[in-house]
Amino acid sequence: MRYSELTRQYFERAPCAGTLAGPDVVSGVAGRRPLGTWVRFDLRIAPAAARGPQILEARFLAFGCPHTIAVAAWVAEQAAGRPASAELPQPVDALRRSFEVPVEKLGRLLVVEDAWRAATAAAAKK
Amino acid sequence: MSPPVYLDHAATTPVDPRVAAAMAECLTADGVFGNPASAGHVHGEAAFERVEAARAAVAAAVGADPQEVVFTSGATEADNLAIFGVAEHARPRGRHVVTARTEHKAVLDPCRELERRGWQVTYLAPDERGRVAPDRLAAALRADTVLVSLMHVNNEIGTVQDVAAFAAVCERHGGAWLHVDAAQSVGKVALDFHASGAALMSLSAHKSHGPKGVGALLLSRRHGVRIEPRQFGGGQERGLRSGTVATHQVVGMAAAFALAVAARPAEAIRLAALRERLWRGLEAHGGALRNGAPEDTVAAILNVSFADVEGESLLAAVAPRISVSTGSACTSASGEPSYVLRALGRDERLAEASLRFGLGRSTSAEDVDEAIAAVGAALSRLRRIGGGCAIAS
């Protein structure tokens, strides 16, 4: 399969791969390895501000195709300094276009989104 | 950055320069460019002689008679011609075919098409090493079975089947012809059409350092094989495969086969040593499972599944350093993992996360070491990104 330059870059560098630990860290997981895609986000959350919880830093783990890894890495990289809202830094369809993800792989990006939403939901409960 | 090491010789091979030189003699105005079917002038006669010399050389390389060779555009066309050609001819005798789940798509897809046309097809299951048991074949044969199509060397895992045993089963049955897809065989294992007992055999040139776009179907005279043509218009190849024979292609095939057969004994030993070196190196990375048993497989193919990585990412991660094939048949979400590995009992993830290493004439120990290092680096990185197996899924 041919990958876009952006996908290749983020797949190869995989910035923010890893985990976070501490009382100020929340996690969100989606997907299943036996089904081929699994993603986890760890978010370090700043104390609640007027605009709600803020993300200080983010890490990800991903078992999946290069598109899944690249998009998860990009999302984690973009997260720092953003509010911990359920919305991804870019909507799934925009991410699909940016990374030139084949439409039949849309489901894999939805797993990334589900993991993100699970993490931000956990942040909202803190 | 140096180009990736080529380890996909089971997919295709580069044309040997000696083969290319022989082919080049048949292309330009100062060479043998005539139409081999143009009898009555010097140019046509010269091309005809080259084609017939190539036919004789191909036959000699695989233990056949020249009259048994029908040139085609490759093994896929040969498989189609064999299956539909026999089916059409034998229809009055029966409408049942036997094949195996691990066959190449060039056999399975024609069989599925026959099913759509009302035929019945039995798909034999291999054992966990990829071997099809002759007694299973015997049990599958029916009074209305007219064709058995089983491959010689499996293209994904390299398992060598006992063709002679299959032929003996068919011989006892009396009514079923054995067709053997031997696209991977020439230069990898000893191949003798007559000794094999097969009635039909498909060959390919480009797996043996010959050109793409040419192959052959062998039709046994001893078995009195008759098939119906699939292509009309000119009556070439005794009316079984119309179309101008591409002189340069068949000359290339003949030259490649001669070189491959001559080199085979020494190459088999050299490649077996490299394959085991590769396996030992990959095994040391952990979570590596060998597909197929070394004693059953050709020296040129090693297929390995890797635990705790996703197949498409594994291929993408090693691609800058080595060119190999993956068990992931399609990289889309709807793609199925290797049906061959699934037939051997590998689960979906392991079938997908597999790499086929195809060693060849140019493969060196340094290439093998590069492959070991490239796979090791990819596994380490992807397992780290994936959280390893310690994190619940």
pLDDT tens-digit profile of B40-84? 999 999 999 999 999 999 999 999 999 999 999 999 999 999 999
Instruction: Note the pLDDT of residue A12.
Output: 96
Average pLDDT over residues B331-335: 44
Residues 6+ away with beta carbon under 8 Å from B175: B93, B94, B143, B145, B146
Instruction: Please indicate whether residue B389 or residue B162 has the higher confidence score (pLDDT).
Output: B162
- In chain B the domains, ranked by start, together with CATH numbers, are 5-11+264-385 (3.90.1150.10), 17-258 (3.40.640.10)
- Kindly state the average pLDDT of the residues B211-228: 97
* Average pLDDT estimate for B14-26: 98
Average pLDDT over chain B reads 94
Using pLDDT thresholds of 50, 70 and 90, give the confidence band for residue B103: very high
Q: For residue B381, which residues of chain A lie inside 8 Å, CB to CB?
A: 14
A64 touches chain B (CB under 8 A): yes
Give the span between the Cα atoms of B192 and B189, in whole angstroms: 10
CA B96 → CA A25, B69, B145, B164, distances in Å? Answer: 64, 26, 4, 21
Residue B295 dihedral angles phi and psi, to the nearest 5°: -70, -15
Torsion of the alpha carbons at B140, B142, B144 and B149, rounded to the nearest 10: 30
User: Given pLDDT bands bounded at 50, 70 and 90, which one contains residue A67?
Assistant: very high
Q: Which of A3, A34, A61 sits opposite B387 (nearest CB)?
A: A61
- B140 and B132 Cβ atoms separated by less than 8 Å: no
B381 touches chain A (CB under 8 A): yes
* Token digits of residue B248: 């340069």
Answer whether residue B334 shows pLDDT above 80.
Answer: no
The pLDDT of residue B332: 38
Percent of chain A topping pLDDT 90: 83
How far are the Cα atoms of A48, B319, B331 from residue A54, in angstroms, in the given order? 7, 39, 37
Contact A100, A72 (CB under 8 A): no
The answer to whether the CB of B96 falls within 8 A of the CB of B122 is yes
Nearest to B312 among A1, A34, A104 (CB): A1
Contact (CB<8Å) A107/B333 = yes
Question: Cβ(A55)–Cβ(A12) under 8 Å?
Answer: no
Give me B306's structure tokens. 């890797």
Q: Which of A32, A66, A107 sits opposite B313 (nearest CB)?
A: A66
- The pLDDT value recorded for residue B326 is 87
Name the token pair of B144: 């209305």
A41 at B interface, C-beta within 8 A? no
Selected catalytic residue, list B111, B170, B330, B389 = B330
Amino acid at B332: S
Residues β-bridged to residue A29: A40
Burial class (CB in 10 A: 0-12, 13-18, 19+), B332: middle
What burial class does residue A5 get, using C-beta atoms within 10 Å of its C-beta: 0-12 exposed, 13-18 middle, 19+ buried? exposed
CB-based contact (8 Å) between A36 and chain B?
A: yes
Is A14 in Cβ contact with B385 (below 8 Å)?
Answer: yes
Angle of helix B247-283 relative to helix B17-24, nearest 10 degrees? 170
Largest CA distance in chain B: 77
- Tell me, letter by letter, the H, E, C secondary structure of B128-169: CCCCCCHHHHHHHCCCCEEEEECCCECCCCCEECCHHHHHHH
What are B251's two structure tokens? 């000359």
Q: Using alpha carbons only, how large is chain B's radius of gyration in Å?
A: 22
- Window 314-333 of B, Cβ < 8 Å to A: 316-317, 331-333
A8-17 per-position pLDDT tens digit: 999 999 999 9
| pLDDT surpasses 60 at B393 | no
Interface membership of A63 toward B (CB under 8 Å) = yes
Annotation says B170 is catalytic: no
Going by pLDDT thresholds of 50, 70 and 90, the confidence category of residue A50 is: low
Q: Is the separation of the CB atoms in B333 and A105 below 8 Å? A: yes
CA distance B332 to B3: 26
pLDDT score of B333 more than 90: no
Q: Which H or E run includes A37?
A: strand A37-49
pLDDT of res. B369: 98
- Chain A interface includes B95 (CB < 8 A): no
Residue B389 has pLDDT above 80, yes or no: no
pLDDT at A29 over 80: yes
Tell me which of A47 and B211 has the higher pLDDT. Answer: B211
> What domains lie within chain A, and their CATH numbers?
5-125 (3.90.1010.10)
